[in-house]
Amino acid sequence: MKNPFRSTRIFVGEMIGELQKASWPTRTELRDSTIIVIVAVLILGLFTSITDFSLYSVVDLFTSWVS
């Protein structure tokens, strides 16, 4: 049976090595990316709300004609 502690130690060592090779964003890049994501979420939320309200109104109009 393999030693689980040895496997874990090898995994953690490789993980640390890969994280050191990664290029991390600067504070300015991180701030700019965060602002872009927040604006995109707001726009998508607004679009979804308008579409939902419009579809609800259309369905309500059609059901009022049938009733």
Q: How many CA atoms lie within 13 A of 55 on its CB side?
A: 6
**pLDDT tens figures, 5-43:** 888 999 999 999 999 999 989 999 999 999 999 999 999
Taking CA atoms, 5 is separated from 2, 15, 16, 30, 67, in Å, by 9, 15, 16, 36, 70
- Regarding pTM above 0.85, the answer is no
List the one residue out of 18, 14, 34, 38 whose CA is nearest residue 26: 34
